[in-house]
Structure 1
Amino acid sequence: MPVSAIILAGGKATRMGGLDKGLVLFQKKPLIAHVINRLIPQVDEITINANREMEAYQSLGYRVLQDEIADFAGPLAGMQLGLKHAGSEYLLTVPCDSPLLPLDLSARLQAALIQHHADIAIASSNGHTHPVFCLCKKSVLPALNDYLSHGGRKVGEWQQRLNHTYVDFSDCSEAFTNLNTQQDLMALEATLQNQAAGKLHI
């Protein structure tokens, strides 16, 4: 089934020293470029939600949408935009700071959504939920609008109100590593370099 995706890059990134997180370099490419590369085979349309550095994001060649709610309202503001502008009846949402996201994320969430007749499928691994990695039907937009209009901002809380299902990705939990600080970024780069070096010696 056709799926639209929105990459959530609209946060303040306070723990990244105020740098726009999606544009921070990881393995010599912006974090969001890694996310885009992993999404391209999985979806039919990609949109970016950003609130700063608009020209830099637009230069990537995708539609860029800015929050309609003021003062950095969080991931739900980006999800709202995605649902509002999606060209498909299904929307996949992912953050801009998880460069290892699963290559079968969309397919597995789709399968669970259909199997459980749910309105939203949410990734989880090792007992932890990953609320911003989710696939939802476009028909949940009115419920989200209502939640936001009453001051709600918590992704998980809103999702719990819907007909939802969780999808276990414990087989690849490292794929949900998100990079909140420069230290996180350097640690992951070092880990991947060590893994690559180990493979060369096998």
Structure 2
Amino acid sequence: MISSDQITGLILAGGRAQRMGGIDKGLIPFLGKPLIESAITRLKHQVGPMLINANRNITKYAIHSHPVIMDETPDFSGPLAGFSAGLKACNTPYMLTTPCDSPLLPKDLGSRLAAEMLRGDFELVYASSKEADGKVWAQPVFCLMRTNLNESLEAFLQKGDLKIDRWFKELKSSTVVFDDTQAFANVNTPEELKALEEAFV
């Protein structure tokens, strides 16, 4: 069994948010509070320590009392850059990642991914969602990984590749399918923000 205190939570807030006009998504008001607060609330009971990956507004993220770590590359290189920064700062055997803009993320995300990791002795397990029509979509930024993957990720990034699914294919990985598609809904437009607020209440 993997206990929650063996897992560091990493909230990814380092993106450019181009579809939201470049606004820092984690700080967008959601039901009157910064969006990242919902992610922290959902994640804090699933993990031990928590880290926030951000590349701007560092002091605003720091008020949440979790270490804020920046990408080592200065050009908003995507989630793998955040994963890399997180793995280097991680002091537990496992790291659970989630984006800052999915306020309905599953409350059993960590436990279900951890159960699958132990079942098949995997290096990384990510979430997938099942739509009403039966289609299954990978949700790769919601994943649990062993922290000894740091060297593998560094070697992958050194090749100049930033595609998350390509790195996963190099690993012994698996997925867990969640039936609640709303759990992975995120904020890319003002309309999506409004819809999520309505779903939350």
- Which TM bucket (shorter chain)? over 0.9
Q: Distance in 1 between matches of 2:160 and 2:103?
A: 31
Q: Distance in 1 between matches of 2:9 and 2:85?
A: 11
Q: Which residue of 2 aligns with 1:174?
A: 182
Q: Which residue of 1 aligns with 2:133?
A: none
Q: Distance in 2 between matches of 1:169 and 1:162?
A: 22
Q: Give the letter aligned to residue 156 of structure 1.
A: D
1:90 pairs with 2:98: no
State the secondary structure of the residue aligned to 2:75.
coil
Q: Which residue of 2 aligns with 1:60?
A: 64
Could you tell me which runs of 5 or more consecutive residues in structure 2 were left unpaired when the two chains were aligned.
131-135
> Once the 2 structures are TM-superposed, how far is the Cα of residue 135 of structure 1 from its aligned partner?
0.1
Q: Give the letter aligned to residue 134 of structure 1.
A: C
State the secondary structure of the residue aligned to 1:125.
strand
Q: Give the letter aligned to residue 16 of structure 2.
A: K
Q: Give the letter aligned to residue 75 of structure 2.
A: D
Q: Which residue of 1 aligns with 2:75?
A: 71
Matches of residues 1-202 of structure 1 in structure 2 within 5 Å? 1=3, 2-126=6-130, 127-170=136-179, 172-193=180-201
Q: Distance in 2 between matches of 1:149 and 1:137?
A: 20
Could you tell me which runs of 5 or more consecutive residues in structure 1 were left unpaired when the two chains were aligned.
194-202
Q: Distance in 1 between matches of 2:95 and 2:54?
A: 17
Q: Distance in 2 between matches of 1:176 and 1:157?
A: 21
**Larger-gyration structure (1/2):** 1
Q: Distance in 1 between matches of 2:38 and 2:29?
A: 10
Q: Distance in 2 between matches of 1:60 and 1:42?
A: 17
Taking every aligned residue pair, what percent have the same amino acid on both sides?
Answer: 44
